[in-house]
Structures are given as C-alpha cells and as structure tokens.
C-alpha cells in the first residue's frame, strides 16, 4: 500500500515536471532564434563591409588602369611624330 501511495505521489508531480520541461524548451527556442537572428545580422554587416571593400579595390584598379593607359597613350603619341 505504501509503495502504491508513493507511486501516486510521483504521478501527481508529473504535470508540474512536464510543464517545467516545456518552459525550458520554449526558452531554448527563443534563445536559439535570437542567436540565429544576431548571427544573420552580423553576416549581413560583414557582406556589406566586404562589398564596400570590393568597390574600393575596383575603384583603385580602375584609376591605376586609367593612369597606365594614359601613360601608354603618351608614349605612343611621341613615337608617331
């Protein structure tokens, strides 16, 4: 009889324990969602920074190319005369 009473006590505690686990799962999901959101935002910022770096590099290459072509053009003009 005592064992049966103890088992019934344990069974009565189950809903509260299940509710506690459910709360922990909900909290974990929220933390994971926040973490993924932050990671996604960080990644977007890195991509934008990388895009700007690429644009700056391309601008530098373009300016160097213009200078090189101008130099070549000046050298060619001198030979034709």
Predicted local distance difference test score (pLDDT) of residue 9: 92
List Cβ<8 Å contacts ≥24 apart for 13-19.
none
Q: What is the pLDDT of residue 74?
A: 87
Query: What does the alpha-carbon distance between residue 33 and residue 37 come to, in Å, rounded to a whole number?
Result: 6
The whole-number pLDDT of residue 76 equals 79
Instruction: Give the per-residue pLDDT at 55.
Output: 94
In the chain, the largest separation of any two C-alpha atoms, in whole Å, equals: 119
Residue 79: its pLDDT value, please?
A: 64
Q: Running along the chain, 81 residues long, what does each successive block of 10 average in pLDDT?
A: 90 92 95 91 89 94 96 78 52
**pTM above threshold 0.75:** no
- Distance from C-alpha of 9 to C-alpha of 7, rounded to nearest angstrom: 5
């Amino acid at each position: 009889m005592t064992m049966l009473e103890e088992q019934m006590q344990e069974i009565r505690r189950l809903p509260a324990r299940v509710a506690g686990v459910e709360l922990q799962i909900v909290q974990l999901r929220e933390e994971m969602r926040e973490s993924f959101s932050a990671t996604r935002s960080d990644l977007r910022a890195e991509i934008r920074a990388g895009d700007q770096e690429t644009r700056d590099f391309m601008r530098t290459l373009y300016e160097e190319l213009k200078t090189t072509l101008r130099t070549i053009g000046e050298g060619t003009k001198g030979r034709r005369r």
